[in-house]
Amino acid sequence: MKSLSNYLQSQRKRLSLSQEEVGFLLGIRGMNKSAKVCRDEKFAREPSLLDALSYEVIYGRPIRELFAGLYEQAGQDVAARAKFLGFRKLRKPDVRKQETIIQLAAKAGVNSSKQ
């Protein structure tokens, strides 16, 4: 099962907050505070890093849990790139670097088997 892009709506409802209140807590100015929050919840927009961190503070859950789908996607993308990086020839062999790349590339298999 692929996780949903984010779980902002269920977390907001868990705390009985309205979109307008969350918008205010995020520091959104203007009349339509709830519109931005709504777009985040409906996966129509990816929030900025500052907004994502604010969500973590408001809901008390780590970003990787709030944006589970995005986190999985990022993990898979990085692992795919790490595999590619593993094929590069290094001028100076570096054991630590090789280990890091192997570990990152192995995450692709772990993530796909989790689903």
- Three-state DSSP class for 94? coil
Residues 6+ apart with CB under 8 A from 72: 2, 3, 111, 115
For position 10 contacting another protein by CB under 8 A, the verdict is yes
Q: Applying CB under 8 A, which part among 12-20, 54-62, 83-91, 103-111 lies near another protein?
A: 12-20
| Helical pair 19-26 and 49-59, crossing angle rounded to 10 deg | 120
User: Interior CA angle at 14 toward 65 and 62, to 5°?
Assistant: 20
Q: Applying CB under 8 A, which part among 13-21, 27-35, 46-54, 72-80 lies near another protein?
A: 13-21
Of 28 and 111, the one with the shorter C-beta distance to another protein is: 111
Q: Which of 6, 7, 79, 101 binds another protein (CB under 8 A)?
A: 7
| The CA-based dihedral angle spanning residues 59, 61, 63, 64, taken in that order and rounded to the nearest 10 degrees | -140
> Binders of another protein among 45-64, rule CB under 8 A?
none
Instruction: Give residues in contact with another protein (CB under 8 A).
Output: 1-2, 4, 7, 9-10, 13-14, 16, 42-43, 114-115
